[in-house]
């Protein structure tokens, strides 16, 4: 005969007893009911605790990216291009001479733009082209920040007349992120142990662990002010610090 206990595993004790009596079970058969109900109670009494943890790592940027340009104007596009090409070649040579490898120098933002006359007589006629502007730039990865200030001055002295900005970066963010993840797990466990101790229980095994978010360094832009001076001391640079973070949510069973 199939046990009524196994058929109705999740019913209250009183319900199981009533079903047993209705089925005409003997008193001996019913003695198994209390023991089963106690087992069920012990199982459902096991709880869990869920905690969030956050870990952060402060890291100083170890590289910078600058974009410097040469802008030239002339009456014809050919003349503007010839002058621009000669000037940007000098800038690139100066950058390489400062110890920057060719792989860290990339052409960016080349363009030819017509320049139009200003119409001052109030007519609706189309303005005439009076010349051309050539803009050609290079993006440079500076992996040694001690060279950055001197390099900014150097590119201006060698012919660059526009520096769009400086972007500071961390070259190995994933490695630092792993450190933040470890700290996040430690923080979550620390809080869980405090709560469990206060409640008079012990942590069991981890049931689930989920990464709920990360914080990676966002490139910090810095405008290169005062870069149009023909001669200058090395530009003062402060890279500051970036924060890399990770959030986790962990669920433990309770003993």
For residues 189-209, average pLDDT: 94
Q: Are residues 70 and 126 in the same domain?
A: yes
Q: How far is CA 1 from CA 10, 23, 37, 109, 116, in A?
A: 19, 12, 20, 85, 100
183 phi, psi to nearest 5 deg:
-65, -35
Write down the pLDDT at residue 225: 43
Identity of the highest mean pLDDT range in 29-33, 120-124, 215-219, 231-235: 120-124
pTM score, two decimals?
A: 0.58
Burial of 158 (0-12, 13-18, 19+ CB in 10 A): buried
Percentage of the residues of the chain whose pLDDT score is greater than 70: 73
Banded pLDDT at 165 (limits 50, 70, 90)? confident
Distance CA 196, CA 54 (A): 19
Q: Are residues 20 and 81 in the same domain?
A: no
Residue 233 in any domain: the answer is no
For residues 163 and 182, the model is more confident at 182
Six-digit token string for 181: 């993840």
Write down the pLDDT at residue 134: 94
- Domain enclosing residue 182, as ranges: 50-59+174-217+246-254
Q: Are residues 122 and 198 in the same domain?
A: no
Q: Are residues 12 and 73 in the same domain?
A: no
What's the count of helices (H) and strands (E) in the chain, helices before strands?
7, 8
Q: How far is CA 41 from CA 5, 10, 45, 180, 218, in A?
A: 14, 10, 6, 40, 52
For residues 119-137, average pLDDT: 87
55-76 pLDDT per residue, tens: 999 888 888 999 999 999 999 9
For residues 7 and 199, the model is more confident at 199
């Amino acid at each position: 005969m199939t046990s009524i206990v196994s058929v109705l595993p999740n019913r209250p004790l009183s319900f199981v007893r009533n079903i047993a009596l209705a089925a005409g079970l003997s008193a001996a058969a019913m003695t198994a009911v209390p023991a089963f109900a106690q087992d069920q109670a012990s199982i459902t009494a096991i709880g869990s605790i869920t905690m969030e943890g956050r870990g952060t790592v402060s890291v100083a940027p170890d590289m910078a990216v600058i974009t410097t340009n040469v802008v030239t104007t002339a009456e014809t596009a050919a003349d503007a291009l010839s002058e621009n090409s000669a000037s940007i070649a000098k800038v690139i040579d100066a950058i390489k001479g400062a110890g920057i490898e060719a792989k860290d120098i990339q052409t960016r933002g080349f363009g030819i733009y017509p320049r139009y006359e200003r119409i001052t007589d109030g007519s609706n006629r189309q303005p005439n082209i009076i010349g051309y502007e050539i803009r050609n730039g290079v993006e440079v990865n500076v992996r040694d920040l001690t060279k950055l200030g001197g390099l900014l001055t150097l590119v201006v002295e060698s012919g660059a007349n526009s520096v769009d900005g400086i972007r500071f970066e961390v070259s190995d963010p994933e490695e630092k992120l792993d450190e933040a993840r470890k700290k996040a797990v430690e923080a979550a466990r620390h809080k869980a142990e405090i709560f469990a101790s206060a409640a008079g229980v012990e942590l069991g095994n981890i049931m689930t662990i989920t990464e709920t978010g990360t914080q990676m360094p966002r490139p910090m832009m810095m405008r290169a002010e005062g870069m149009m001076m023909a001669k200058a001391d090395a530009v003062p640079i402060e890279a500051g610090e970036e924060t890399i973070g990770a959030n986790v949510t962990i669920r433990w069973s309770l003993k």
